[in-house]
Amino acid sequence: MSPDRPVLLLLPGLMCDAGIWTAQIEALGGVYDVRVPDFFGLDSMEGMARASLALADGPFAVAGHSMGARVAMQVAAMAPQRVQRIALIDTGAHPVAPGEAAKRQVLLDIADREGMDGVVGAWLPPMVAPTRLADRALMDDLTALILRASVDVLKGHTRALLTRADGFAQIGALRCPTAFIVGRQDVWSPPEQHAQMQGCAPGSTLTVIEDCGHMSPVERPDAVNRALLQWLNQA
């Protein structure tokens, strides 16, 4: 950690660790003091936000992917004076929907029956652009990433998501440079959803990455890096 470089927090999503940000850490780490919190073992947005805030003493920029973007919104709600800019990637802002708990329970049941191998088989393919599913190196990297989590991690993260705040209210309170980034083929958090969120944040930007699904920091790292650099350099 260097006091000479501006601090950039990168917040991982569901079942992910710092590995989701490998390409971004490499690309941005020479200019920014990049710090990634560990959300394993945590089961609330507030707890994850506190873990994130504990990594920085002063002001910082924050980018979150998927669930991590929900945490970034919570960070901004808890410490608005410290968040200099925020990027929300492949995410949503809607509150818990009717039936959402039952839908998430399906994956938890698979986890209980088949362990994390079953979770990978059921959850990962829809998270990736269809054209990338045959990319063995990509799928191996993503599989290894998810297998580093455990069934207990999945359950904790699911509890956090099912007790989340209204993200639209959090986005509406933002008063800093805000970027939305999403894969064109993200079926979990589609571009239309990000356009709706952008409409709640005047002056924000929206970048749609082509041939890319939900796991954009790994699927299309160069495009994500370009979008992040534009956001970080935004006046």
DSSP string, 22-90: HHHHHHHTTTSEEE----TT---HHHHHHHHHTT-SS-EEEEEETHHHHHHHHHHHH-TTTEEEEEEES
Return the pLDDT at 4: 82
Give residue 235's pLDDT band: very low, low, confident or very high (50, 70, 90). confident
Which parts of the chain fold into alpha helices (H)? 22-28, 45-53, 67-78, 100-127, 136-147, 151-162, 167-172, 191-198, 216-219, 221-232
Q: State the CB neighbour count (10 A cutoff) for residue 101.
A: 13
Is the pLDDT at 137 greater than 50? The verdict is: yes
Cα 153 from Cα 40, distance rounded (Å): 6
Torsion of CA 126, 132, 136, 138, to 10 degrees: -80
Is the pLDDT at 2 greater than 60? The verdict is: no
Return the pLDDT at 3: 59
Cα 134 from Cα 131, distance rounded (Å): 7
Q: Which two tokens stand for residue 101?
A: 């708990």
Residue 20 phi/psi, 5° resolution? Answer: -65, -20
Return the pLDDT at 164: 97
Mean pLDDT (whole number) for 225-233: 98
Mean pLDDT (whole number) for 101-127: 98
The amino acid present at 100, given as its one-letter code, is E
Domains and CATH numbers, the chain: 7-96+158-232 (3.40.50.1820)
Residue among 126, 131, 86 at smallest CA distance from 106: 126
Cα 136 from Cα 190, distance rounded (Å): 24
Is the pLDDT at 1 greater than 50? The verdict is: no
Mean pLDDT (whole number) for 23-27: 98
Give the chain's mean pLDDT: 97
Is the CB of residue 182 less than 8 Å from the CB of residue 191? Answer: yes
